[in-house]
Homo-oligomer: A and B are copies of this chain.
Amino acid sequence: MQLPTYDDVVAAAARLAGHAHATPVLRSATADARWGARFFFKCENFQRMGAFKFRGAFNALSKFDAAQRRAGAIAFSSGNHAQAVALSARLLAMPALIVMPQDAPAAKLAATRGYGAEVRQYDRFSEDREALTQRLAAERGMTLIPPYDHPDVIAGQGTAAKELIEETGPLDRLYVCLGGGGLTSGSALAARALSPACQVYGVEPEAGNDGQQSLRAGHIVQIPVPTTIADGAQTQHLGNYTFGIIRRDVTDILTVSDAQLVEAMRFFAERLKMVVEPTGCLAFAGACADAAAIRGQRVGVIISGGNVDLARYAALLAP
């Protein structure tokens, strides 16, 4: 197994130029004063379709050869990866088939179809999602793009940290939202190349600390689906590629509670005027919990996305 490298991140950045947004890096004098640090917030909630996932999906689909393009891409996801593959396929004029649970939120189904993708729904209780997807891929000759454990996906996700560090210069610490590890491993590749002394932290929900357990154990630990408001980090295990990079290049994996996520979400709304989904709050919540360590430091925070149902968001904001 050949792990992707920073050269792959550079190549991904070239493919994404003109397609992905070069998202802004925001500062907050209030955050800096409160924690005695210098924060740099990389805002992937402002990315196309509202999350960093567009970067990895577009990079992977861009590398398809002519036959793959004709047949198109297939993915299983009820979250941001579904929309990322759907939008990337539309932009690259290829078919996309997304396998989603029957009980996926109507808004997510509509958004995925809105990007022109075909949606195949399945029964979570009676059908095996992966087997179904493999069968559909074989029948139609489509290329399966997994949500995180793929070198092209990882390289694409790494372009966010590349942009961040190219804009800010070297950082002391970089905090990244951690689910399956695509964003964290890609970010680590970029940080190692552009800011070698930077310490890189993945941040998980307390209830879903499979990454932390894996790092401690030295092998991938699988957990039951965790209960957390960070729905993008309900992954049960890291992947072979993501774990391979994380164990080599990531300093540590931290965890935060749902209450800390809500506190960070409110801070983002009140002070940075940004809507951040619960999963997107992991990195900042982790940095804040690390208060003694970040004092006096240049701290990068990668906000992964902003896709949250408005009614749910309003309920979380209300005191």
Q: Which residues of A contact B (CB under 8 A)?
A: 21, 24, 26-27, 29, 45-46, 48, 50, 266, 269-276, 306, 310-311, 313-315, 317-319
**Nearest Cβ distance between residue A58 and chain B, in whole angstroms?**
13
Question: Contacts A310-B266, A311-B318, A317-B314 known; A29 to B46 CB distance under 8 Å?
Answer: no
Q: Are B273 and A306 in contact (CB under 8 A)?
A: yes
Q: Which residues of B contact A314 (CB under 8 A)?
A: 314-315, 317-318
Q: Are B272 and A273 in contact (CB under 8 A)?
A: no
Copies per complex? 2
Out of B24, B269, B274, B311, name the residue touching A313 (CB < 8 Å): B269
Q: Which residues of B contact A21 (CB under 8 A)?
A: 27
The docked-state distance in angstroms from the alpha carbon of A296 to that of B68 is 35
Q: Are B275 and A276 in contact (CB under 8 A)?
A: no
Q: Are A311 and B306 in contact (CB under 8 A)?
A: no
**Nearest Cβ distance between residue A281 and chain B, in whole angstroms?**
13
Q: Are B313 and A315 in contact (CB under 8 A)?
A: no
CB closest chain-B residue, reference A33: B114
Q: Are B46 and A269 in contact (CB under 8 A)?
A: no
**Nearest Cβ distance between residue A272 and chain B, in whole angstroms?**
7
Q: Which residues of B contact A266 (CB under 8 A)?
A: 310
